[in-house]
Amino acid sequence: MQHRDTDVTLITPSAPIGGHTHGGRAKCLQRLARLDLPVPPTVALSFRTVHAIAAGGMPDLRVLLSMLDGGALLCVRPSSEDADWGGPRAMLNIGMSDRMRDSLADRIGAVAATRLYLRFIESYAIHVARLDPDILDDIPQDPDEALAFALRVYQEETEEPFPQDVSVQLAEVLRSMARAWEGTTARLLRQAKGAPLDAGLGLVVQEMAIGMGHGESGSGVMQLVDSKTGARQITGRYLSQSQGRDALNSTNGALYLERDPRGPSLEDLAPEAFGQLKSHLMLMRQKLREEMQAEFTIENGKLHLLDGMRVARNARAAVTIAVALAEDGIITREGALMRIEPRALNELLHRQVDPEARRDVLARGIGASPGAATGKIVFTAEASQAAAARGEACVLVRRETSPEDIRGMHAAVAVLTERGGMTSHAAVIGRGIGLPCVVGASSMRFQATARKLTAPDGRVLSEGDEITIDGTNGEVLFGRAPLLDAGLDDSFQVLMEWADEVRDVTVRANADTPMDAQMARNFHAMGIGLCRTEHMFFDPARLRVMREMIFASTSEDRSAALDRLLPMQRDDFAELFRIMQGQPVCIRLFDPPLHEFLPSDRAGHRAMAEALDIPMSTVIRRIETLAEYNPMLGMRGVRLGITVPEIYDMQVRAIFQATIQVAGEGVQIVPEIMIPLVSASREVELVKGRVDAVAAALRSETGKDFAYRLGVMVETPRAALRAGDIAPQVSFLSFGTNDLTQMTYGLSRDDAGRFMSDYVKQGVYLEDPFHTLDLEGVGELLSIGAERARAASPSITLSICGEHGGNPESIAFCRAAGFDYVSCSPFRVPVARLAAAQLAVRDKAEK
């Protein structure tokens, strides 16, 4: 039955109900009706009707009420298109009045009827009449006295008696809920959850089954899986009114659902209803192709289903549920893949703060690397290493991290920095090694010298105090927060196998160390797309040799120092090749400016002068000589390789020696050598000439042949624009989107975090371009570079290896642009694999 003018529709199996017109709850109730489940009669109001109510209209309530039992209490519930968008709170017991209380007293008892009436008055007064909640603070304990008090206070505050007509009550409830939905606060809250500006709200008006009576009566919710793990387990709660528990006021009267030695259960009290409930949930799972939670009442032993909702779940449970549904033949494997948000896998890969735990938030920053950990505050890399040696968990706190902090980061359980953004040093390294990290926490005062942190609320923390870093949500929490363990179970592995069967984009990992490479293998990366060799030089033994090379005054002296590093580099590369077992390994030649390997304070200057046995004045002069106004655009990358060619010569020789060494062990590999920061084809010519010369010399020396591929890391806009000139000289182009974004925007990725949130809030940028690939600007450069490179060299391999490589949106762009692979941090590989699979499934469905 439907009223034509107002879209007031009785929910029946054939009624014209749609999720896009009446909301998800109304549509779900219709599906339950189609399954012939015991749902009380329900009327649905469409989005259009509710909008009209908010504007001052009102449907014909006589028509609406004629569709329902005139003697029943009613409830009104919100029905938005997406449950995550929320909505006004449900209103229960509409129709409760003096006459209805007297009528119910015979069925459920006078006290229960009075309390039901009182509960409705309280709810109506606060949420419909909008009275101050504290007006009922002094309510008497006796039910009859409490009711009289509430009715008197209501009349005093509103200057009219409490409405006794169900039509009046229902009209005011509908009007209140409609206007609440269209209020500014509600609109902003749902927009933050992704709702469109014009998102509509439906309402459902349902006869109430109050769950009270002389026989077994009560109310509850039940589901067949655990919301945290997805395991098959009956969970929920049941409040029994007939077991002497006050179902209206009790917060601790919940009974067990299944039989339990610890106390009475629903299965004991109402075995027939319990069996029906299990059967109904199994039917819902089969027919609705989803794990559902049933909201129910039992009235004198009879079961009523008030609502069916998709079971709330975390990422781990979502994966387990999707895989189980597919394995049971309820949905397809492709359907299971499409049900998991790729970024949600981050919750499975790292420990997380328990979402149900209380959070004492000290400050907020940028969640740069997901996961959570608790540890004692330390302010230096050395203190972090010392804490790790004692077996103490610590959080490394720095204004910003540098390559010198690498060992301290490895020793810490989490990192917190005052400065930085999504592609700052701390963020990139944190994601690479799976370390929870919050950067850009500029609202806190960092006092490294005094070993203190001051929170915005004035709380002062000292070295040794415990904090929890929530890198998923970008929060710094006081003390030790409850954590949930990572959830890499069998279901996760099965889902990833299904993803690999359908995806058509290769996913590699960025890995700088053997530990990173092993992690990449564990996550089934199909090779290493970026190995940053500079991170190998910060071991103390190597750092001293690097500094000797920097202070060498002649090419011969530099070569002599580098000859001592060569076997170390060779061993590094050989170990990477062994771990990857013949899969491609792309090694980026030395990139950072040399000053990053020199100390920045006077104590460091003195220590280096002693280590190198030179005057401190010489150390200071050399550091001043290497200083640059803008080192990110200075003497680094290929510029350093051309002006100090001995560095690249050593690295290339080490790569080739490692290739020959592992070939003798049965590992066949064709190493990929990548030149960083190229902006002109002549740079490639010069480096290529030296690489080829080193290869020829080594072949002559050893009598061994080997193959290699030379490529360019496209990080400058000019390299993208001149890709047609560069491509014929190389085998591959890999777009480094971190620096390319930085140079395209003219933004410092380490400093942009200070204002980026304001820019995004005010719509200057839709998203942080260091977090989400800028498809219009940086993306256009990628497209131009790819098109011109392919035109000049059709067989060239194209990829991206910046942090954007793990973002689903970036993967979609690269797939559409014809890129061969993406490369990202090891812990983002599963995210990329699933995102690539979803693109293939979606593309197949569209075709």
Give the residue numbers annotated as catalytic, written as ranges.
425, 801
Alpha-carbon distances of 251 from 90, 238, 246, 311, 625, rounded to whole Å:
19, 11, 9, 22, 72
Residue 256 DSSP one-character state: B
By the 8 A CB rule, do 829 and 806 touch? yes
Contact yes or no for 806/410 (Cβ under 8 A)? no
Helix or strand holding residue 712 (H, E):
strand 709-714
Tokens 């060299």 locate to: 793
Structure tokens at 64: 């609406």
- Report yes or no: 834 and 499 within 8 Å, Cβ to Cβ: yes
Distance between terminal CA atoms of the chain? Answer: 39
**How would you classify the pairing of strands 732-735 and 797-800?**
parallel
CA distance 284 to 326: 15
Q: For the residues of 47-109, what is the DSSP string, one character each?
A: HHHHHHHHTT----HHHHHHTS-TTS-EEEEEEESSGGG--SPPEEEET--HHHHHHHHHHH-
Q: What is the residue type of 674?
A: M
Q: How many whole angstroms from its chain centre is CA 686?
A: 44
Question: 241 is written with which tokens?
Answer: 């009114």
d(Cα 546, Cα 97) in Å, to the nearest integer?
86
* Alpha carbons 550 and 566: distance in angstroms, whole number: 15
Under a CB-based contact definition with an 8 Å cutoff, are residues 294 and 461 in contact? no
Q: Taking a C-beta distance cutoff of 8 angstroms, is the pair 309, 24 a contact?
A: no
User: Which pair of structure tokens corresponds to residue 488?
Assistant: 């890499």
Closest CA to 413 of 339, 498, 489, 470: 470
- Smallest CA-to-CA distance from 239 within 249, 254, 250 is with 254
Contacts with 61 (C-beta within 8 Å, 6 or more apart), sequence order: 167, 170, 171
Identify the residue whose tokens are 């449900």: 90
The rounded distance, in Å, linking the Cα atoms of 188 and 190 is 6
Two structure tokens written together for 240: 């029994």
Minimal CA–CA distance to 7: which of 40, 39, 52, 72?
Answer: 52
**CA 6 to mean position of chain CA atoms:** 41
* CB atoms inside a 10 Å sphere around CB 185: 8
**Chain Cα centroid distance, residue 380:** 29
**Residue that the structure tokens 């509960």 belong to:** 119
Query: By CB neighbour count within 10 A (0-12 exposed, 13-18 middle, 19+ buried), where does 806 fall?
Result: buried
What pairing do the DSSP bridges indicate for beta strands 466-470 and 475-478?
A: antiparallel
SS3 of 720-734: the string is HHCHHHHHHHCCEEE
* Tokens 């090379």 found at: 549
